[in-house]
Amino acid sequence: MAILITGGAGFIGSHTAVELISAKKNIIIIDNLCNSNIQSVENIRKITGVDFPFYKADCCCDADLEKIFEENEIQTVIHFAGFKAVGESTQKPLKYYKNNLKSTLSLCEVMKKFGCSHLVFSSSATVYGAPKTVPIKEDFPTSTTNPYGTTKLMIENILKDICKADPKFSVACLRYFNPIGAHKTGIIGEMPNGIPNNLMPYITQVAAGKLKILSVFGNDYETHDGTGVRDYIHVVDLAKGHLSALKYIKNHSGFETFNLGTGTGYSVLDILKTFERVNNIKIPYKITKRRPGDIAICYADPTKSKKLLNWKALLSLEDMCCDSWNFAKKAIAGK
């Protein structure tokens, strides 16, 4: 029996693959490598010393998925595959609706056909829109401000309906907050194409001298230092949350949402200063105007995940900053 990881060559998928293999699970990865590369699959093998089947294939293709289910005995799926760039989704909404929805619909259809009814889905804190209060609990109202977020919310609703219609189905819908960091070995991590949109990859590229200066988007928010506050979570903690979710869906049916965050909010300047301190590198920055669509504060209440999944984040902000740079300095600067 194996666990199929869609998008397993990507940032979160590759770290989850390592944790699953370390927990002695059999895994299979499907990824079309549209936002990753084959080296990432090799790196999972390198870290774990374990080989596993990899299919370079598209989750939107029913025939490709059927072939994988025919060739393997798949018990559970963890569905990471999808596009994730908020800004691009506002420019190219069709690209996002097509890939994120079609891949999930095809996957669920093929799962049903092969009698596989256990799924862990990658959702996002973006489905909370602009929350009225923090910390955010799973039963807070949902809303979205961009097509990417809307795809996540639409998929959540589709999965809810599938669970209602089929009592065998069990879905853990994990709402990630802000994953950063990298594997301790520095062999896998986050390496976005082009100029990064997200804070930590931008900081590491400035640290490596690839970009000149970090723009801090606004210092007039109602936060402790005026800059935006987020719930940054180490990607390895996040990956371990998937192991806990796998245990949960084995013993439960139906649709359940879980926040995967630390429960602590840090500002842009907190991140910047901690990165500088633990890595002993100066990051030049300037304050610029707010980025459209950004909210002031977003952090999780992770109580439900602690109670039902028996999971909580353990790694510190120092670990996140240190591990992000340990990966990036090799990957970007070759140091």
Positions in 107-166 near ligand UFG (CB under 6 A): 124-126
Q: Is 272 in the site for ligand NAD (CB under 6 A)?
A: no
C-alpha closest to that of 119 among 161, 82, 66, 75: 75
C-alpha closest to that of 319 among 179, 206, 134, 202: 179
Interacting residue with ligand NAD among 29, 69, 76, 84 (CB under 6 A): 84
Span from 3-11, 110-118, 268-276, 294-302 in contact with ligand NAD (CB under 6 A): 3-11
Strand partners, 56: 31
Q: Is 178 in the site for ligand UFG (CB under 6 A)?
A: yes
Q: Which does 117 bind (CB under 5 to 8 A by kind): ligand UFG, ligand NAD, none?
A: none
The residues, any chain, with a CB within 8 Å of residue 133's CB and separated by 6 or more, are none
Quick check: is 148 catalytic? yes
Span from 50-58, 132-140, 208-216, 240-248 in contact with ligand UFG (CB under 6 A): 208-216
Residue closest to ligand UFG when measured from CB atoms: 228
> Min. distance of Cβ 41 from ligand NAD in angstroms?
10
Which residue among 55, 128, 148, 202 is the active-site one? 148
**CB 155 within 8 Å of CB 102:** no
Phi-psi region of 83 (alpha: psi -120 to 50; beta: other; left: phi over 0): beta
> Min. distance of Cβ 287 from ligand UFG in angstroms?
9
Measure the CA–CA gap between 175 and 123, rounded to whole angstroms.
Answer: 5
Measure the CA–CA gap between 305 and 185, rounded to whole angstroms.
Answer: 27
Residues that bind ligand UFG (CB under 6 A): 84, 86, 124-126, 176-178, 197-199, 202, 214-217, 228, 230, 268, 291, 294
